[in-house]
């Protein structure tokens, strides 16, 4: 063995080669698996992907629209083509609206390996649009109506911003529309354009670095008349070869042309309603056309538009410079536009109750002599250097006007309509001139004249100002017939010809001076036979201030209007206002922000006043004679608005005053928030005549109110701020016989009634009037013997609210009211016994009632009182306790209990000596309960729900003890359980009430009677003993009975017993007696 050479180990070599063999085998297996997987993917992958694409696309579409989307088949190919067959859209009822096929010739493999040429996408198919009778939307509109996005749905991706836009190099695509058919059918239409059939053909092509092309044609038949449209546009230099978008260098040429029968326009929803073909001397077959051309090259562009249609025409040519700091758009030659107003168009514009009617169509024409304007930057207009010369003229509007209250329309005309606007630089100077005149019945009915110059219309950036820097000129309406304005105020009950006068003059004068740049003085005036108004204000872009006396308005005579308003409300009253009504608005200083007033930082004082107001109610010539009435409002910067009123009456001494701060009306940003306003302050009216309740429609209650409260009443209300925007209120009323008070807290979520009470002196006259008002048929009518003090109280209650002062009674609980007497109450003729009135006295009277606000029904009542005999009021006759529980307005359960009945006093009260004392003993307890089951009285008719009334009564006294339970239904009264009565008959009671005076016999000893009834049923309606219903099983017994005849002969009977019972059929009655 040579020295220095390692010794070889064959086993070790084999061990070293083994891992390499394993690695080679593993790599071979992996390659084989990858090859197999590639084959599987190549053969089956696209089929699997096609199914996924079909299901995902259909699912996403169905989640987005209210219709339904299905895809018949998706075929994907590595080398192409790709197909989507029968992409079908249905409306919510399942009718097919669209059936589309998509064909793309590009291959999936090419896209995977980086190709950006999307190839040709060919679209074919049909869309079928139907409008069904009684429906506003077509089938297409219903099918594509968006669904509401589910909560938490992701929003679209943010739009990238910044840097030049670039498209992928090599991006290309071609869209081909091949005989795409569209049909339309209005199944309810009887007029033009009930059906249309159209075919769309064309192609659009785009490739980076090459011109973009689009050319489409549409050929249609509308009710058999041909229609067509074409679009042909080429845009070059849109992108560079490497994909950079260069819109500013684009060169474009395009044309749009459309032709359609006029009947098609007359049938379009939202458009056709305004088109009246017969009035326009047009037919459904007349042609309407639109032609538009556009060219653009190196930042220069031009456009031409021509429209000719039924009653409509427009002709405009524009040019634009799109580059540089002086980019602008201008009119290359005078343009025009016109439309014809038809009688139907004017009637529709006025809504459901048109007052103006045209006798013939009238054309309105606009002529645009010159127009030039800088191109808007970022969507904002720049008026610097903008020029406009335009005029509007119109044919005379000849027709008639309906004046409310008049039986027939009156001839009316609007003549000489002309408007002209001239501005060489809109930012600096503009002149507006306008004029027209009206006639009514051929006589002058008003003339409008406007001659106004505005300067400084824009700020330094060319943005329009809220108010021009300078305004000079006059706008006036002279001799305006107020009859023409009557439709606008008819619902308010005004008659302008009487309340203002037959004619009205209005004027606005504007002046500006260099001494006060940016300030325009506006003078307003109005005058009529019964009206005078004048006011002056300084107006600037940031403030409005009043000048001198501000605004003063005077109405010289308002009595007819006031009387008319009272009559509209149905009040039994007359009113006269001898003095004028004046309105003043002074010390006005209102800051403006973007033209909007900042009222929270404003100052103003408004006042309305009049005098000599005389009101007579209920036939009275004069109920009140108000010397003055005044109301006002004040604004002070940084403070809540303040309102108040004052009034005083020379005849009754009545006076009223109020002062409130409207806390929260203005937000910190100056917004007006009426829902958040809290009136904090005090209002009071002293000695208010209750007869004025007639003005509130309570004429039939006035006498009753006067009997309860007196001739006058004083009321007061005080409100205060509570925590978290709550409002506290304290209310009170006071008169000679009545006092009332309430305390409440109103929050956004609830209204708390914290306390409410009233005290009333009930007089005999009040009771008589109340019974006459509410129980006129009651006879005989009980009466109150003397005055009685009553106190009412409502327990605290919380009523949920859906906002401030918006109670939600449906969620409210029960409210409880209590009425108590502070004096003994003596009722004359409270009950009648043997046709004789019986007087009853009541002491410690307490009545309670509960009312479920949520169900708007009473739920129960309780009554407690001590009854006494008016002749001996120091001793109680009995204690009375009564209660009733109600459900759904019917009695659910009721009970009455007389406790500790003093029978001797009761006999005296009833004027029946011994009736109760001898039969019951010196005292007794009596009770009765009633409990209906089902409706009571029972319902009648087929399917009626059966009803019954269960009554239980009990008597517990020294001489009589018994109890019974009875059931009354529609057919019978039935004893529910056996009853027993034990009665010791007093000889005096028997002689007075049981035996007739000529009987010749009297009871000499008490008789201990025991009566038992095992069974009892008495028929109702057809006689108590009706066979099949009547049933009886009763017995009575007494150990002995002693009598004495008129001859003083004594008779004693022992073992007295009697029994009566019916057979099972109730047809016969057996009677047994033994002594």
Residue 540 CB: number of other CB atoms within 10 A? 19
Residue 881 lies in a domain: yes
| pLDDT, position 20 | 42
Residue 21: which pLDDT band, with cuts at 50, 70 and 90?
very low
What's this model's pTM, rounded to 2 decimal places?
0.66
Task: Tell me the two tokens of residue 567.
Answer: 């009559």
Q: Clarify whether residues 908 and 928 are in a common domain.
A: yes
The H or E element containing residue 910 is helix 903-910
Tell me how many degrees the CA angle 437-442-443 measures, rounded to the nearest 5: 65
SS3 content of the chain, % helix, strand, coil (to 5): 15, 55, 30
Q: What is the DSSP string of 1039-1074?
A: EEEEEEETT--EEEEEEEEEEEEE-TTSS-EEEEEE
Residue 531 has pLDDT above 90, yes or no: yes
| Cβ(47)–Cβ(78) below 8 Å | no
Question: What average pLDDT does the segment 65-78 reach?
Answer: 84
Strand ranges for 636-706 from DSSP E = 641-649, 655-663, 678-689
Residue 977 has pLDDT above 50, yes or no: yes
Q: Clarify whether residues 965 and 977 are in a common domain.
A: no
Q: What is the DSSP string of 373-406?
A: EEPPBTTB---TT-EEEEEEEE--EEEEEPPTT-
| Alpha-carbon span 950 to 968, nearest angstrom | 6
Residue 1026 lies in a domain: yes
Residue 198 has pLDDT above 80, yes or no: yes
Strand ranges for 132-211 from DSSP E = 172-186, 195-207
824-834 tens-digit pLDDT: 999 988 777 76
Gyration radius (Cα) of the chain, Å: 49
| Cβ(89)–Cβ(71) below 8 Å | no
392: β partners: 366, 419
Residue 869 lies in a domain: yes
| pLDDT, position 848 | 94
Return the sign of the alpha-carbon dihedral for residues 1038, 1039, 1045, 1048: negative
Q: Which residue has the tokens 């501000």?
A: 550
| Alpha-carbon span 572 to 346, nearest angstrom | 43
Residue 154: which pLDDT band, with cuts at 50, 70 and 90?
low
Q: Clarify whether residues 992 and 966 are in a common domain.
A: no
| pLDDT, position 155 | 52
Q: Which residue has the tokens 């041909």?
A: 226
Q: Give the alpha-carbon dihedral of 136, 140, 144, 145, to 10 degrees.
A: 0
Question: What average pLDDT does the segment 3-12 reach?
Answer: 44
Residue 998 has pLDDT above 80, yes or no: no
| pLDDT, position 714 | 94
| pLDDT, position 898 | 93
Residue 269 CB: number of other CB atoms within 10 A? 12
| Cβ(254)–Cβ(230) below 8 Å | no
Residue 916 lies in a domain: yes
Return the closest-CA partner of residue 401 out of 413, 389, 409, 392.
409
Task: Kindly report each contact of residues 664-671 with a partner whose C-beta sits within 8 Å and lies 24 or more positions away, as own/partner.
Answer: 664/640, 664/725, 665/640, 665/641, 666/599, 666/600, 666/640, 666/641, 667/600, 668/600, 670/593, 670/596, 670/597, 670/598, 670/599, 670/600, 670/601
Looking at every residue in the chain, the average pLDDT score rounds to: 85
315-324 burial, b at 16+ Cβ within 10 Å, e below that, comes to bbbbbbebee
Domain count, the chain: 3
Please state the length of the chain.
1075
Coil/strand/helix, residue 9: coil
Q: Give the alpha-carbon dihedral of 105, 110, 111, 117, to 10 degrees.
A: -60
Task: Tell me the two tokens of residue 281.
Answer: 């001397």
The H or E element containing residue 561 is helix 559-568
Q: What are phi and psi of 38, to 5 degrees?
A: -60, -40
The H or E element containing residue 499 is helix 496-499
Query: Cβ contacts of residue 29 below 8 Å, gap of 6+?
Result: none
Residue 459's Cβ-count burial label (10 Å; 0-12, 13-18, 19+) is: middle
| Alpha-carbon span 334 to 402, nearest angstrom | 40
Provide the domain limits for residue 602.
Answer: 559-712
Q: Clarify whether residues 966 and 1026 are in a common domain.
A: no
Pairing of strands 117-131, 172-186: parallel
Residue 244's Cβ-count burial label (10 Å; 0-12, 13-18, 19+) is: middle
Q: Clarify whether residues 688 and 656 are in a common domain.
A: yes
| Alpha-carbon span 628 to 621, nearest angstrom | 19
Q: Clarify whether residues 917 and 954 are in a common domain.
A: yes
| pLDDT, position 72 | 86
Q: Clarify whether residues 959 and 1012 are in a common domain.
A: no
| Alpha-carbon span 759 to 761, nearest angstrom | 7
Q: Give the alpha-carbon dihedral of 765, 769, 774, 775, to 10 degrees.
A: 70
Residue 323 has pLDDT above 90, yes or no: no
| pLDDT, position 774 | 85
| pLDDT, position 141 | 87
| pLDDT, position 467 | 74
Return the closest-CA partner of residue 310 out of 344, 269, 276, 335.
276
Q: Clarify whether residues 577 and 675 are in a common domain.
A: yes
Task: Examine the fold and report which residue of 712, 744, 765 is the final residue of a domain before the chain moves on.
Answer: 712
Q: Clarify whether residues 590 and 706 are in a common domain.
A: yes
| pLDDT, position 5 | 41
475-502 burial, b at 16+ Cβ within 10 Å, e below that, comes to bbbeebbbbbbbbeebeeebbbbebbbe
Judge if the upstream peptide bond of residue 89 is cis by omega within 30 degrees of 0: no
Question: What average pLDDT does the segment 101-108 reach?
Answer: 84
Residue 613 lies in a domain: yes
Q: Clarify whether residues 899 and 995 are in a common domain.
A: no
| pLDDT, position 16 | 43
Residue 762's Cβ-count burial label (10 Å; 0-12, 13-18, 19+) is: buried
Residue 542 has pLDDT above 90, yes or no: no
| Cβ(1012)–Cβ(1034) below 8 Å | yes
699-741 tens-digit pLDDT: 778 888 888 888 899 999 999 998 888 999 999 999 999 999 9
637-682 tens-digit pLDDT: 989 999 999 999 888 888 999 999 999 898 888 888 888 889 999 9
| Cβ(784)–Cβ(767) below 8 Å | yes
Q: How far is CA 379 from the centre of its chain?
A: 38
Question: What average pLDDT does the segment 856-882 reach?
Answer: 90
Residue 29 has pLDDT above 70, yes or no: no
| pLDDT, position 192 | 54
| Cβ(1052)–Cβ(1001) below 8 Å | no
| pLDDT, position 269 | 64
- Alpha carbon distances (Å) from 174 to 206, 429, 634, 1035: 6, 52, 71, 113
Q: Describe the crossing of helices 702-709 and 764-774 by its angle, rounded to 10 degrees.
A: 150
Residue 579 lies in a domain: yes
Residue 12 lies in a domain: no
Residue 686: which pLDDT band, with cuts at 50, 70 and 90?
very high
Question: What average pLDDT does the segment 261-281 reach?
Answer: 80
Tell me how many degrees the CA angle 1035-1041-1045 measures, rounded to the nearest 5: 130
Question: What average pLDDT does the segment 58-71 reach?
Answer: 84
Residue 1013's Cβ-side half-sphere holds a number of Cα atoms within 13 Å equal to 16
805 or 112: which leads in pLDDT = 805
| Cβ(894)–Cβ(883) below 8 Å | yes
| pLDDT, position 38 | 44
Question: What average pLDDT does the segment 188-197 reach?
Answer: 67
| pLDDT, position 946 | 67
Query: Cβ contacts of residue 1020 below 8 Å, gap of 6+?
Result: 968, 970, 971, 972, 973
Residue 939 has pLDDT above 60, yes or no: no
| Alpha-carbon span 830 to 827, nearest angstrom | 5
| pLDDT, position 845 | 94
Task: Examine the fold and report which residue of 912, 945, 970 is the final residue of a domain before the chain moves on.
Answer: 970
Tell me how many degrees the CA angle 685-688-691 measures, rounded to the nearest 5: 150
| Alpha-carbon span 636 to 464, nearest angstrom | 31
Residue 1066 has pLDDT above 90, yes or no: no
Residue 454 CB: number of other CB atoms within 10 A? 23
Phi-psi region of 491 (alpha: psi -120 to 50; beta: other; left: phi over 0): alpha
336-371 tens-digit pLDDT: 999 999 999 999 888 888 888 999 999 999 999 999
| pLDDT, position 35 | 41
Question: What average pLDDT does the segment 1055-1063 reach?
Answer: 90
| pLDDT, position 486 | 86
DSSP class of 42: I
415-432 tens-digit pLDDT: 999 999 999 988 888 999
Residue 396 has pLDDT above 80, yes or no: yes
The H or E element containing residue 559 is helix 559-568
Task: Examine the fold and report which residue of 672, 688, 712 is the final residue of a domain before the chain moves on.
Answer: 712
Return the closest-CA partner of residue 715 out of 744, 739, 743.
739
953-964 tens-digit pLDDT: 999 999 999 999
Q: How far is CA 987 from the centre of its chain?
A: 77
157-161, 356-360, 997-1001: range with lowest mean pLDDT: 157-161
Residue 989 lies in a domain: yes
Q: Clarify whether residues 598 and 701 are in a common domain.
A: yes
Query: Cβ contacts of residue 168 below 8 Å, gap of 6+?
Result: 116, 208, 243
Q: Clarify whether residues 1040 and 1054 are in a common domain.
A: yes
Percent of the residues in the chain that have a pLDDT greater than 90, as a whole number: 42
| Cβ(785)–Cβ(839) below 8 Å | yes
Residue 586 has pLDDT above 90, yes or no: yes
């Amino acid at each position: 063995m040579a020295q220095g050479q390692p010794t070889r180990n064959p086993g070790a070599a084999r061990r070293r080669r083994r891992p390499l063999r394993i690695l080679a085998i593993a790599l071979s297996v992996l390659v084989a698996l990858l090859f197999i997987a590639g084959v599987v993917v190549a053969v089956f992958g696209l089929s699997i992907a096609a199914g996924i694409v079909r299901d995902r696309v259909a699912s996403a579409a169905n989640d987005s629209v209210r219709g339904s989307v299905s895809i018949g088949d998706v075929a994907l190919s590595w080398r192409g083509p790709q197909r989507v067959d029968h992409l079908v859209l249905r409306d919510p009822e399942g009718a097919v609206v669209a059936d589309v096929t998509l064909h793309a010739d590009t291959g999936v493999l090419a896209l995977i390996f980086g190709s950006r040429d999307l190839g040709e996408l060919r679209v074919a198919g049909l869309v079928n649009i139907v409008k069904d009778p009684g429906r506003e939307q077509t089938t297409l509109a219903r099918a594509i109506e968006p669904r509401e996005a589910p909560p938490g749905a992701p929003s679209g991706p943010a739009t990238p911003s910044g840097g030049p836009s670039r498209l992928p190099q090599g991006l290309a695509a071609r869209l081909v529309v091949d005989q795409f058919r569209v049909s339309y059918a209005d199944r309810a239409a009887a007029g033009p354009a009930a059906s249309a059939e159209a075919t769309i053909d064309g192609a659009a092509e785009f490739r980076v670095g090459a011109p973009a092309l689009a050319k489409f044609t549409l050929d249609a038949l509308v009710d058999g008349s041909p229609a067509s449209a074409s679009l042909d546009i080429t845009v070059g230099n849109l992108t560079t070869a490497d994909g950079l978008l260069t819109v500013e260098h684009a060169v474009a040429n395009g044309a749009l042309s459309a032709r359609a029968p006029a009947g098609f326009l007359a049938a379009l929803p939202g458009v056709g309603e305004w088109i009246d073909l017969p009035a326009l001397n047009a037919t459904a077959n007349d042609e309407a056309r639109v032609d538009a051309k556009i060219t653009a090259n190196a930042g220069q562009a031009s456009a031409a538009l021509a429209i000719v249609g039924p009653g409509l025409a427009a002709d405009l040519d524009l040019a634009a410079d799109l580059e540089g700091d002086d980019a602008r758009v201008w009119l290359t030659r005078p343009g025009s536009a016109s439309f014809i107003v038809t009688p139907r168009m004017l009637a529709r514009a006025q809504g459901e109750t048109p007052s103006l009617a045209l006798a013939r169509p009238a054309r309105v024409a606009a002529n645009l002599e010159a127009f030039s304007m800088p191109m808007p930057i970022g969507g904002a207009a720049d008026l610097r250097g903008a020029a406009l010369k335009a005029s509007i003229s119109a044919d005379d509007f000849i027709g008639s006007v309906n004046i409310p209250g008049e039986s027939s329309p009156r001839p009316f005309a609007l003549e000489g309509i002309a408007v002209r606007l001239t501005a060489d630089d809109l930012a600096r100077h503009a002149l507006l001139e306008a004029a027209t005149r009206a006639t009514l019945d051929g006589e002058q009915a008003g003339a409008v004249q406007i001659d106004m110059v505005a300067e400084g219309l824009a700020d330094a950036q060319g943005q329009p100002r809220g108010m021009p820097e300078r305004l000079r000129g006059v706008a006036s309406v002279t001799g305006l017939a107020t009859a023409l304005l009557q439709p606008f105020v008819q619902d308010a009950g005004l008659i302008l010809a009487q309340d203002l006068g037959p004619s009205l003059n209005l004027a606005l004068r504007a002046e500006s001076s260099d001494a006060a740049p940016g300030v325009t003085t506006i003078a307003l005036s109005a005058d009529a036979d019964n009206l005078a108004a004048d006011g002056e204000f300084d107006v600037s872009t940031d403030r409005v201030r009043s000048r001198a006396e501000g605004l003063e308005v005077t109405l010289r005579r308002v009595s007819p209007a006031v009387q008319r308003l009272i009559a509209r409300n149905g009040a039994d009253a007359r009113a006269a206002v001898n003095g004028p009504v004046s309105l003043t608005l002074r010390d006005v200083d209102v800051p403006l922000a973007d033209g909007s007033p900042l009222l929270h930082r404003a100052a103003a004082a408004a006042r309305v006043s009049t005098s000599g107001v005389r009101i007579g109610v209920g036939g009275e010539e004069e109920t009140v004679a108000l010397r003055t009435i005044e109301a006002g409002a004040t604004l002070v910067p940084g403070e809540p608005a303040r309102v108040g009123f004052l009034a005083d009456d020379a005849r009754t001494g009545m006076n009223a005053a109020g002062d409130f701060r409207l806390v929260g009306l203005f937000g910190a940003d100056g917004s007006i928030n009426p829902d958040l306003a809290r009136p904090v302050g005090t209002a009071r009216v002293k000695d208010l005549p209750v007869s004025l309740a007639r003005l509130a429609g309570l004429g039939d209650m006035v006498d009753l109110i006067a009997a309860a409260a007196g001739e006058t009443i004083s009321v007061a209300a005080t409100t205060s701020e509570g925590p978290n925007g709550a409002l506290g209120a304290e209310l009170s009323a006071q008169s000679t016989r009545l006092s009332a008070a309430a305390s409440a807290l109103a929050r956004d979520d609830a209204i708390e009634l914290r306390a409410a009470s009233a005290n009333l002196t009930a007089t005999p006259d009040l009771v008589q009037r109340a019974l006459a008002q509410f129980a006129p048929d009651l006879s005989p009518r009980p009466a109150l013997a003397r005055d009685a003090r009553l106190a009412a109280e409502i327990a605290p209650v919380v009523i949920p609210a859906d906002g401030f002062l918006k109670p939600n009674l449906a969620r409210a609980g029960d409210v409880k009211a209590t009425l108590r007497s502070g004096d003994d109450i003596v009722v004359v003729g409270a009950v009648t016994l043997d046709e004789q009135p019986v007087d009853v006295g009541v002491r410690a009277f307490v009545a309670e009632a509960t009312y479920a606000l949520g169900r708007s029904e009473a739920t129960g009542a309780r009554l407690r009182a001590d009854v006494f005999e008016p002749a001996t009021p120091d001793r109680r006759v009995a204690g009375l306790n009564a209660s009733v529980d109600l459900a759904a307005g019917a009695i659910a359960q009721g009970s009455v209990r007389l406790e500790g009945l003093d029978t001797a006093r009761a006999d005296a009260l009833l004027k029946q000596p011994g009736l109760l004392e001898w039969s019951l003993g010196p005292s007794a307890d009596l009770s009765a309960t009633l409990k209906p089951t089902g409706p009571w009285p029972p319902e009648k008719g087929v399917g009626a729900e059966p009803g019954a009334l269960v009554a239980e009564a009990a008597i517990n006294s020294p001489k009589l003890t018994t109890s019974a339970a009875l059931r009354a239904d529609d057919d019978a009264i039935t004893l529910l359980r056996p009853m027993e009565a034990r009665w010791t008959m007093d000889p005096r009671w028997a002689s007075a009430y049981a035996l007739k005076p000529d009987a010749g016999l009297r009871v000499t000893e008490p008789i201990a009677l025991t009566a038992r009834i095992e069974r009892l049923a008495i028929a109702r309606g057809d006689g108590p003993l009706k066979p099949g219903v009547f049933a009886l099983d009763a017995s009575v017994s007494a150990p002995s009975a002693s009598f004495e005849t008129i001859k003083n002969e004594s008779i004693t009977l022992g073992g007295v017993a009697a029994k009566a019972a019916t057979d099972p059929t109730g047809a016969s009655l057996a009677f047994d007696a033994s002594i």
